[in-house]
């Protein structure tokens, strides 16, 4: 009887272990599948206006807007630039042109043959964006022109009114990414696949905005900025969250939590800093 009880106990224990393992596998599989069902996108919601972009488009929009902030340009400049880049390249850094401009390249489809720079230069998003703004600020009264008119003065497109289609998107994302509209940009993302690299994120931040006082502690960057500049950096971090494995952004008593997927929520104040936390190994 003792041996039978032991065998029966071992069998029950083995069955329990199988059931537990099966349950864990099932839960893990369901979580993985639910992650795959998430549509990744970024949304700028300003008042009654709402615009959506794919994550790579949003990252490029953040760069274009950050350069305008660095140059001290009004938000209108970013609105014009975003509408232009959306029409020209769908906000993607493409390496080809079209029939109208076979040598057009980059975010703004600038043509080396028209004096915009070398092919390598116009394929550099920072160079291309600065080249666009260099031309835009030479347009008299550009900040009071219709967005499509200002864009056409710079681009001299064969389709001069096409930029109007993207004006609402340009205004919404520019308002959020310049920091004029706090807590206005949200990205819905799957969980990060890899740990984030704080040094890489800091390099990208400074390439976009220039040198900013920043402290790095472990997986967290604390950026010493306030007011609209703080919200510009915070929204920039959210727009770049997919590429750099950002998990959380804290600013001005608000928090964006990638895993929660519930936009900006109340949180402890960070005391005049933007705290950007990246995924760690095993997170």
Beta strands 264-266 and 214-217, pairing class: unpaired
| pLDDT computed for residue 3 by the predictor | 56
One digit per residue, the tens of pLDDT, for the chain of length 283 reads: 455 555 565 555 555 454 544 544 443 444 455 677 899 999 999 999 999 999 999 999 999 999 999 999 999 999 999 999 999 999 999 998 776 678 899 999 999 999 999 999 999 999 999 999 999 999 999 999 999 999 999 999 888 899 999 999 999 999 999 999 999 999 999 999 999 999 999 999 999 999 999 999 999 999 999 999 999 999 999 999 999 999 999 999 999 999 999 999 999 998 889 999 999 985 6
Taking the model in full, what pTM does it have?
0.87
| pLDDT computed for residue 27 by the predictor | 38
> Rounded distance, CA 21 to CA 10, Å?
16
> Rounded distance, CA 51 to CA 184, Å?
11
| pLDDT computed for residue 24 by the predictor | 44
| pLDDT computed for residue 17 by the predictor | 53
Listed in sequence order, the residues at least 6 apart from 57 whose beta carbon sits closer than 8 Å to its beta carbon are: 42, 86, 90, 91, 92
The two structure tokens encoding residue 253:
């008593």
Identify which of 156, 158, 166 has the alpha carbon closest to the alpha carbon of residue 99: 158
**Alpha helices by DSSP H, the chain:** 2-36, 55-71, 75-89, 119-122, 125-136, 147-155, 167-177, 198-209, 227-239, 241-244
| pLDDT computed for residue 157 by the predictor | 86
b/e code 127-154 from CB counts within 10 Å (16+ = b)? bbbbbbbebbeebeebeebebbbbbbbb
């Amino acid at each position: 009887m003792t041996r039978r009880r032991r065998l029966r106990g071992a069998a029950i224990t083995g069955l329990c272990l199988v059931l537990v393992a099966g349950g864990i596998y099932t839960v893990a599989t369901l979580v993985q599948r639910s992650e795959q069902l998430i549509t990744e996108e970024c949304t700028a919601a300003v008042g009654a206006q709402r615009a959506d972009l794919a994550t790579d488009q949003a990252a490029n929009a953040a760069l274009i807007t950050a350069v305008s902030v660095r140059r001290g340009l009004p938000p209108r400049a970013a609105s014009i630039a975003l509408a232009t880049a959306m029409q020209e390249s769908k906000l993607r850094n493409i390496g080809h042109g079209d029939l109208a401009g076979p040598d057009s390249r980059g975010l703004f489809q600038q043509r080396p043959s028209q004096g915009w720079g070398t092919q390598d230069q116009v394929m550099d998003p920072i160079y291309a964006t600065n080249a666009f703004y260099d031309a835009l600020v030479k347009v008299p009264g550009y900040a009071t022109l219709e967005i499509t008119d200002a864009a056409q003065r710079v681009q001299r497109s064969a389709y001069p009114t096409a930029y109007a289609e993207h004006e609402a998107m340009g205004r919404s994302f520019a308002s959020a990414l310049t920091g004029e509209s706090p807590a206005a940009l949200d990205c819905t993302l799957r969980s990060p696949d890899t740990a984030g690299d704080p040094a890489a994120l800091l390099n990208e931040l400074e390439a976009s905005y220039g040198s900013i006082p920043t402290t790095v502690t472990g997986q967290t960057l604390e950026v010493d900025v306030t007011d609209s500049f703080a919200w510009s950096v915070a929204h920039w971090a959210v727009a770049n969250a997919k590429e750099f494995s950002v998990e959380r952004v804290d600013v001005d008593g608000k928090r964006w939590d990638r895993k929660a997927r519930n936009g900006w929520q109340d949180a402890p104040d960070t005391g005049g800093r933007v705290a950007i936390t990246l995924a760690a190994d095993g997170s």
